[in-house]
Amino acid sequence: GENVEQHPSTLSVQEGDSAVIKCTYSDSASNYFPWYKQELGKGPQLIIDIRSNVGEKKDQRIAVTLNKTAKHFSLHITETQPEDSAVYFCAASETGTASKLTFGTGTRLQVTL
């Protein structure tokens, strides 16, 4: 089955700096890679996703890159703000009705003033 590794487990950055979280996956059949943000006391919320037919996707201050050859994908947050402080999860799966997501172990991002 799929195995997803995520690094770092904790990340502290100053407000305005960039943050990068990296994930690797093992199953070459995976072609869908979502990222979730989980704030304290809430369920994970999808913030961005990427499919294997593209190498990069951006949404305002958030971007995700995918390297299928190396089987790794990364989340980039620019101009970080205190409200970006949360736990972030990467995940991987094949597409299709029967697909299941495999999650990384999470990164706790702390944005300090």
In terms of Cα–Cα distance, which of 51, 46, 57, 58 is closest to 89?
46
Stretch that binds other proteins, among 12-20, 29-37, 54-62, 72-80 (CB under 8 A): 29-37
Kindly state whether residue 26 participates in binding other proteins, applying the rule CB under 8 A: no
Find out whether 55 and 65 touch, Cβ atoms under 8 Å. yes
Say whether 10 sits in a helix, a strand or coil. strand
Among positions 35-94, residues that touch other proteins (CB under 8 A) are: 36, 41-46, 49, 89, 93
Token readout for 68 is 């299928």
Provide the binding-site residues for other proteins, judged by CB under 8 A: 6, 9, 32, 34, 36, 41-46, 49, 89, 93, 95-101, 103-106
